[in-house]
Amino acid sequence: MWGMHTSEALTALERDLREIFGTRLRSIVGYGLPADEAHDHGHAAHGHERPAAHTLAIVDAITADDLRACAARVDRWHATGVATPLVLAAHEFEQSLDAFPYEFGAIIADHVLLAGPNPFEKLRIDVNDVRRACEVQARSHLLHLREGFMETRGRADALAVLIVRSAAPFAALLRSVARLQGQGTRDLAAVGRHAERVLNLPGGAVSEVLALAHVKEISSDAATRIFPAYLDAVERLVAFVDGWTAA
């Protein structure tokens, strides 16, 4: 469950969306926060960012006036810790599952229904679409790390920035790979340990990076120590996803 402050903010978001869309608003779901928030209390005081609450709203139709009305409220939503909602027309969502299996698969697998009927009740994502999407993301992440490392020009402080900025996308990628294998994804530490087992990596090689998903900065010494194992883990992940087949 979300904390009280987040729940109040989401209630205010629902009120705003109902004011904007009226009877065209079908459902609102929240995703991407509950498990992490439970482990992140006090992080703001220790160099961590408080995660934003993410939402998806399904509506019958979207007009330019709707977008303008939402735009006028974005600053208020952000101020309360709620990210700009993803708003989709019902037919767009259903037709987008094969195009965005990685993104929508994550939402379907771990969400909280906030209003209306469950929009995912009869929807299924093809596991082959998910595998391909995971491979694309893994290869992209690997290319990003290699290119980013070269662009640091050997500066450890720049390497620290690269690692911190890439940690959250890496966590999202490993959650999707875990789902592909039928593993739970609520506990990020467990996701890290699972990845270390299947990729035959020493304990901590992945978990240490995942622990940085909500961290603002790390030391240059830590970055220099972490990066070689991090890069090796992503290289192994690419090979693993490329060769993965459903049992």
Which carries the bigger pLDDT value, residue 34 or residue 56? 56
What ranges make up the beta strands (E) of the chain?
Answer: 25-31, 54-59, 86-89, 111-115
Separation CA 6–CA 81 (nearest Å): 7
Q: Is 61's pLDDT higher than 60?
A: yes
**What fold characterizes domain 127-243?**
Four Helix Bundle (Hemerythrin (Met), subunit A) (1.20.120)
Q: Write out the residue limits of the CATH 1.20.120 domain(s) in the chain.
A: 127-243
Closest CA to 89 of 123, 131, 44, 119: 119
Contact residues for 44 (Cβ-Cβ < 8 A; gap 6+): 50
Say whether pLDDT at 48 is over 50.
no
Average pLDDT of the segment spanning 161-169: 96
Cβ–Cβ under 8 Å, residues 84 and 55: no
Could you tell me which of 15, 163, 1 has the C-alpha nearest to residue 80?
15
Amino acid at 226: I
> For the domain with range 4-115, which CATH number is right: 3.30.460, 1.10.12, 1.20.120, 3.90.1200?
3.30.460
Residue 157 confidence class, pLDDT cut points 50, 70, 90: very high
Instruction: List every span in the chain annotated with CATH 3.30.460.
Output: 4-115
Q: How confident is the model at residue 46 (pLDDT cuts 50, 70, 90)?
A: very low
Structural contact between residues 78 and 245, judged by C-beta atoms closer than 8 angstroms: no
Entry pTM: 0.69
